[in-house]
A = this chain, B = another copy of it.
Amino acid sequence: MPNPAAAMLVIGDEILSGRTRDSNLHHLAGELSRHGIDLREARVIPDRHEAIIDAVRALASAHDHVFTSGGIGPTHDDITADSIAVAFGVPIRVRDDARALLEAHYARTGQHLNKARLRMARIPEGATLIENPVSAAPGFSIENVHVMAGVPAIFQAMLASLLPRLTGGTPLHSITVRINRPEGDIAGPLASIAAEFPDLSIGSYPFVEQGRYGSYVVLRGTDRAILEAAEVHLRNVFGEDAA
């Protein structure tokens, strides 16, 4: 059975304006690889209702899972939860269990659960909460869409809460071999190796170090034995240039 397919939706003007460098995609990609879920696509879109609704619908219909980050805080620009509710055609309102999480958190930290903060307890009907051990305000899963915070520490904590719930497939393994020759020199032999190992994805990534060109060759696949056979073959072909 093939691994489940996933997409990520990064929601936030601050990424598209260049103010903030997204780091959640990289974290999610690594975690999903280890969990045996294939990340097939990622999109970054602004904090706009129609953009969120359109992207969620498109990605949710084409993938087993969609992971979103951003736009679920207490301020006026946090419109993700409302947009997701529209995308699935369900109402959204303050939910008792989510409110209880916030009440406990703010009582503990001596802060006031005001109207703005209470917005974070608004959950689309039929959703399952995703625990947030950092700052209490929960994420949620609705159908195959998992809605999480944009702040990296909170995104990571929510993902750690969520992942054990999701059925994974075969983890993707990878072996990286450094070849001390420029990409253009190794391209021919590498194409032959790729043809011999059709089950693997073989990528080549050039680098420059102290003015000398080299290439990292990355072998990726789910079967360790095949990966190791390909590595042996690769090292034989490139001899002393393989480090």
Contacts and interface: CB of A to CB of B under 8 A. Distances in A.
Number of copies of this kind of chain in the complex: 2
A96 interface: no
Interface string A204-224: 111010000000001010000
A203 interface: yes
Contacts of A73: 183, 187, 204, 206
Interface string A148-170: 00010100000000000000000
A204 to B, nearest CB: 4
Given A40-B46, A111-B182, A203-B13, A187 B18 contact: no
A42 B29 contact: no
A15 interface: yes
Interface string A31-61: 1110000011111111100010000000000
Contacts of A185: 111-112, 114, 116
Chain A interface size range: 35 or more
Contacts of A43: 41-44
A116 B188 contact: yes
The 8 residue pairs across chains A and B that have the minimum distance between CB atoms: A116-B187, A18-B30, A18-B29, A76-B191, A117-B184, A42-B44, A75-B204, A21-B26
30 contacts: A13-B203, A14-B203, A15-B25, A17-B29, A17-B33, A18-B32, A18-B33, A19-B176, A19-B218, A40-B46, A41-B46, A47-B203, A73-B187, A73-B204, A73-B206, A75-B183, A75-B186, A75-B187, A75-B204, A76-B191, A77-B194, A77-B202, A77-B204, A112-B185, A115-B188, A116-B187, A117-B184, A120-B184, A151-B206, A153-B208
